């Protein structure tokens, strides 16, 4: 890929990541300035600097998604516990216990029952898995 196609793609991903991790605009601008020695606009950064920003966002919990042909999101690189949560969620949907199979609904459930930082807390993820297993057992 040429630099002309990489930069716009990276900028889009960074803006999606900023929204997904809930980063304030001030924190975002500070991150850009830190990575680029003073530049506060993603358009002014090089492709390498944009990749550094994206790595930082991934460390903050950003998970890249891909839209499937039917419009559903498919998450890449999920930790094993999150994969298990997703698997249980889809089982519950197939059993009719969960009305909406979308990952956004699953994440809302996890945030409600595991707290704000559930995706970084292995104990919270374990509790969510156990809760989903019990729900699955009742539903089937």
12 is in which domain, residue-wise? Answer: 3-59
Give yes or no: residues 55 and 80 share one domain.
Answer: no
Residue 53 belongs to some domain of the structure: yes
Within 10 A of 18 (CB to CB), how many other CB atoms are there? 20
Per-residue pLDDT tens digits of the chain, which is 140 residues long: 566 778 998 999 899 888 888 889 999 999 999 988 889 899 999 999 999 999 988 888 787 776 666 555 555 556 788 889 989 999 998 899 998 888 888 888 998 998 888 888 888 899 999 999 999 999 88
Q: Per the structure, how many domains does the chain have?
A: 2
Q: Does pTM top 0.85 for this prediction?
A: no
**In the prediction, which pLDDT does 133 show?**
96
Asked if 24 and 67 count as a contact pair (C-beta separation under 8 A), the reply is no
């Amino acid at each position: 890929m040429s630099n002309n196609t990489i930069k716009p793609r990276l900028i889009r991903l960074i803006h999606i990541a900023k929204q997904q991790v809930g980063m304030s605009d001030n924190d975002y601008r500070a991150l850009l300035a830190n990575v680029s020695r003073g530049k506060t606009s993603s358009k002014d950064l090089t492709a390498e600097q944009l990749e550094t920003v994206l790595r930082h966002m991934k460390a903050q919990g950003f998970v890249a998604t891909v839209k499937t042909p039917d419009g559903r999101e498919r998450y890449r690189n999920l930790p094993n516990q999150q994969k298990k949560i997703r698997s249980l969620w889809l089982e519950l949907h197939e059993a009719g216990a969960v009305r909406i199979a979308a990952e956004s609904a699953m994440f809302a459930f996890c945030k409600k029952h595991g707290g704000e930082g559930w995706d970084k807390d292995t104990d919270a993820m374990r509790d969510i898995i156990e809760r989903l297993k019990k729900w699955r057992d009742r539903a089937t």
